[in-house]
């Protein structure tokens, strides 16, 4: 499933490699890689297949009857949480990044109760930081949340899974940058020089970025 997922992301242009003009991430660091899982919502057959993959992964790795509620993280996680909730026959909610600032000032939209076991669904995770904020917001309702499922996990930064585990959160995912690199190589999707730079970045992302600071 990991390689198939990687291939589909490449096919729809959700993956971009550019070592000559690197991308600047939210952290301010540069990288020759970029992934945009939001593109999936515009490709119904691939979207459906990957949601089937994710539903199976959730049941296989977490349990068939473990969850009572599927929560999406604002904003990218919302469509995917709705699709997973539909497949698993469960209620869906979503979690705001911060209180909306008026009305009930809620972070949770929809119905979530303190006896529920909630799965957080997102499009991707890099270092896991935003996941912890969403998990804490869910737990503040009295509900439990000990797992998050994502389509894409970077898989190149040290300590991410340990940080999540220490917070009591299991990470479920479909593919990583290593799966994408392997699939890109097998398809000859990019030139050899670009793939060499991408592999160098994946092996040492911080060093690669530091070396390109002006």
Domains along the sequence of the chain with CATH = 1-35+176-214 (no CATH), 63-175 (3.40.50.2020)
Sequence-distant (6+) residues with CB within 8 A of 79 are: 41, 72
Work out whether the CA dihedral 122, 126, 132, 137 comes out positive or negative. negative
The pTM for the full model equals 0.95
Structure-token match 């296989």, residue found: 60
Confidence of residue 25 (pLDDT cuts 50, 70, 90): confident
Distance CA 147, CA 168 (A): 8
Confidence of residue 26 (pLDDT cuts 50, 70, 90): confident
Sequence-distant (6+) residues with CB within 8 A of 179 are: 2, 3, 5, 6
Confidence of residue 102 (pLDDT cuts 50, 70, 90): confident
Average pLDDT over residues 155-160: 95
Q: Is the pLDDT of residue 36 over 70?
A: yes
% of the chain exceeding 70 in pLDDT: 99
What does the block give as tokens for 44?
Answer: 């119904």
What is the structure's pLDDT at 204?
97
Q: Is the pLDDT of residue 21 over 90?
A: yes
Average pLDDT over residues 16-43: 94
Q: Do the strands 23-24 and 30-31 form a parallel or antiparallel pair, or are they unpaired? A: antiparallel
At residue 157's C-alpha, the angle toward residues 85 and 76, to 5°, is 30
Sequence-distant (6+) residues with CB within 8 A of 162 are: none
Q: Is the pLDDT of residue 195 over 90?
A: yes
Structure-token match 């977490």, residue found: 62
Distance CA 9, CA 25 (A): 19
Confidence of residue 214 (pLDDT cuts 50, 70, 90): low
Confidence of residue 194 (pLDDT cuts 50, 70, 90): very high
b/e map 162-186, b = 16+ CB within 10 Å: ebbeeeebebbbbbbbebbbbbbee
Q: Is the pLDDT of residue 42 over 70?
A: yes
Confidence of residue 27 (pLDDT cuts 50, 70, 90): confident
Confirm if 121 and 88 have CB atoms less than 8 A apart.
no
Among candidate residues 112, 108, 35, the one with its CA nearest the CA of residue 74:
108
Phi-psi region of 118 (alpha: psi -120 to 50; beta: other; left: phi over 0): beta
% of the chain exceeding 90 in pLDDT: 90
What is the structure's pLDDT at 143?
98
């Amino acid at each position: 499933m990991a390689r198939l997922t990687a291939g589909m992301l490449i096919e729809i242009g959700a993956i971009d490699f550019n070592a000559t003009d690197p991308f600047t991430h939210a952290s301010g660091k540069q990288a020759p890689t970029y992934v945009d899982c939001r593109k999936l919502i515009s490709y119904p057959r691939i979207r459906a297949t990957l949601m089937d993959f994710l539903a199976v992964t959730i049941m296989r790795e977490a349990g068939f009857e473990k969850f009572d509620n599927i929560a999406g993280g604002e904003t990218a996680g919302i469509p995917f949480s709705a699709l997973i909730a539909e497949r698993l026959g469960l209620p869906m909610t979503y979690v705001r990044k911060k209180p909306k600032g008026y009305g009930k000032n809620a972070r949770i939209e929809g119905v979530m109760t303190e006896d529920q076991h909630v799965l957080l669904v997102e499009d991707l995770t890099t270092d896991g930081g935003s996941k912890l904020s969403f998990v804490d917001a869910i737990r503040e309702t009295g509900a439990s949340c000990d797992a998050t499922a994502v389509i894409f996990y970077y898989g190149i930064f040290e300590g991410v899974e340990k940080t999540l585990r220490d917070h009591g959160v299991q990470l479920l995912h479909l593919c990583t940058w290593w799966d994408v690199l392997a699939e890109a190589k097998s398809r000859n999707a990019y030139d050899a020089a670009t793939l060499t730079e991408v592999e160098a970045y994946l092996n040492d992302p911080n060093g690669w970025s530091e070396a390109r600071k002006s």
